[in-house]
Amino acid sequence: MKPVAILGGGPAGATCAEGLAAAGMKVVVLDEKMAWEKPCGGGITHKAYRKYPYLLENDTPKQHITNTVLMAPKAGDAQLAMEHPLLIYSRYELNDMLLRRASAAGAQLEKTRVLEIERGDGDWRIRTKGGTIEASFCVVATGARNPLRQVGTEFTAEDTMCALGYYVEGTRERIDIQFLPQFEGYIWVFPRCGHLSVGICGKGVATPVLRQWLEEWMTKNGYQWQGQRFYAHLIPSLRSQALLENRVAGEGWLAVGDAAGLVDPITGEGLYYAIRSGDLASQILLNDAQAPGAKAEAYRQLLKADFLDDLYIASRLAHRFYTGNFVFGQVTDRMVQFVRRSETFRHLVRDLFSGAQPYTGLRERVWGNFRRSGWELVFPQEQAVPQEP
Ligand SMILES: Cc1cc2nc3c(=O)[nH]c(=O)nc-3n(C[C@H](O)[C@H](O)[C@H](O)COP(=O)(O)OP(=O)(O)OC[C@H]3O[C@@H](n4cnc5c(N)ncnc54)[C@H](O)[C@@H]3O)c2cc1C
């Protein structure tokens, strides 16, 4: 029996490989780098480790962050205390842990670059830098820069966010998120083990301009960027129409994680969706009740039932969230003000960030809480943001 080939060994590919190998399936993971320090915040939400407790319960070094400060141009700062910490991993460490789990389950790991895939007689021929491999099925997990044109999401510039930043020296106990005027994106300061990641991601602005904005912001806020390690990558951020037309599966293949565009278009959270889609893809491949020809449609349906509808709502909200107006001000300004003044609203945003509040049902909760948070807005109990040294 030819193996299932997992093209890419990031969180999505490694998770899928683990699920298949643990059930006794022959699996080979092909990755050109294996574990590597991908430019990424490495933030794992409560939603992710509640579903996959091994993301929390392990010896791999990580930060547990419970404080976030939100900043918007006309609103100042607001502190958001999380009920459950956000875990922050180095991506080398996270990928390594997930690949070791796949290997321990029985998956074969091969460090090589996939150059081309070709379908014939119901199987795949995969040309790699090291030779040719035959496989019964392909799981496409090659990330947002998927070089294989015939499989996975067909990205356009409107469906990706550019992300870039610097690793700078320093430690701290909180995350900072800075919104900018009329910009679909944000600046972040993420405390990682031993250093900070300070970056910007967004849509519709040229990369050199984003870099300039970030460097100006860093200078103004006392972060040294000259001589620090620079990084840049892409984050999928599909518009609602692109999500409807998204190419996530076809004859003999399923795409997972970034290669399938499965990222929250508002927050840029992709690790949960990578791991979840890798898991769901393995469930589809292991289900003997489905004929091979029915797997693509079954996978689409499973994604939809699980989280795609939620990402669709987020894709409809994203542009308005960042650039729209609410009560005579920009939505992000208002959000920061409301978080500062209203405990009810603060809990809502906290739950949204941790994944406890899906986008489905958000509107109902906002309106349901409106009277209470309206009272708190009129008679606020302002909270002070503690100053970091
Ligand atoms: C700057 C930045 C910050 C982010 N911060 C966060 C965050 O804090 N939290 C969060 O949840 N998400 C975050 N994301 C998103 C997150 O990084 C991705 O959603 C996640 O890595 C997707 O996992 P994946 O396995 O699908 O793809 P990837 O992690 O990109 O893995 C793809 C793998 O495929 C391999 N590969 C690619 N092409 C080939 C080839 N031809 N042959 C062999 N191997 C190949 C690569 O080597 C790589 O290992 C961030 C993204 C960026 C860019």
pLDDT tens for 178-214 read 999 999 999 999 999 989 999 999 999 999 999 999 9
**Distance from the CA of 75 to the center of ligand 1, in angstroms?**
33
pLDDT at residue 369, as a whole number: 75
CA of residue 182 relative to chain centroid, distance: 23
157-236 sits in which CATH class?
Answer: alpha beta
pLDDT at residue 16, as a whole number: 98
What CA–CA distance (Å, rounded) separates 90 from 38?
9
Count of C-beta atoms within a 10 Å radius of residue 127: 14
The sign of the torsion formed by the CA atoms of 58, 60, 66, 69 equals: negative
Question: Which ligand 1 atom sits nearest the alpha carbon of residue 43?
Answer: 8
**Residue 261 in tokens:** 């565009």
pLDDT at residue 383, as a whole number: 55
pLDDT at residue 380, as a whole number: 56
Angle between helices 343-354 and 331-341 (to 10 degrees): 120
Domain 4-37+91-153+239-316, CATH: 3.50.50.60
Domain definitions of the chain by residue range:
4-37+91-153+239-316, 157-236, 324-378
* R_g (Cα) of the chain, nearest Å: 21
Best of 28, 30, 37, 40 to mutate for ligand 1, by most ligand atoms within 8 A of CB? 40
User: What residues of the chain score a pLDDT lower than 50?
Assistant: 384-386, 388-389
pLDDT at residue 389, as a whole number: 39
pLDDT tens digits along 284-342: 999 999 998 999 999 999 999 999 999 999 999 999 999 998 878 899 999 999 999 88
